[in-house]
Amino acid sequence: MLTNNHVVTGAGAGAQLSVTLNDKRTYDATVVGTDPSTDLAVIKLTNAPTDLKPIALGDANVIKVGDQVMAVGNPLGLAGTVTTGIVSALNRPVTTSDQQQSDPFGQQQSTADPVVTNAIQISAAINPGNSGGALVNSGGELIGITSAIASLGSSSGSSSQSGSIGIGFAIRSTRHARSPNS
């Protein structure tokens, strides 16, 4: 399974990871690998069920501004949430920092180095907890992984936690043709 690096590192060193499927089955998971420079991580379910099916991959290279998208995740701890919107910009250079990255429980995470992504900018509401979720096109095909939100700076004395202001960002997925020998 693919998710964000900041989601798995946000759990802390030696933390137990678990994945709850849409049908409420929960499985332990281990981190297979991480890439902090792209904010991506691969995790593997322990004793994964045999009935899991991979999501169909869309071609993120053909999306355009105005295309409809849907973000899937658990914003603010609300499991199984989907939000819809449009692609509002492409190849947006986004630098994430300590204040922009959140784990699934809405806690701020710190990163050693900023992550710069040529992101898909979307209007679908992305809130803390959406990180690492699927961004799909109108055909239900994966075109990205939600990663960050734009938020207004908080003033002194106000909450450091904020929700969607209508600008979210996703890491573009790539689909490569497979050769007959692969």
Active-site positions read 6, 39, 131
Cβ-proximal residues to 143 (8 Å cutoff; 6+ apart), any chain: 58, 59, 60, 63, 69, 120, 135, 136, 137, 170, 172, 173
Q: Name 102's bridge partners.
A: 108
Buried b (16+ CB within 10 A) or exposed e, 70-92: bbbbbbbeeeebebebebbebeb
Q: Is 96 helix (H, G, I), strand (E, B) or coil?
A: strand
d(CA 91, CA 121): 8
Terminal-to-terminal C-alpha distance of the chain: 20
The identity of residue 124, as a single letter, is A
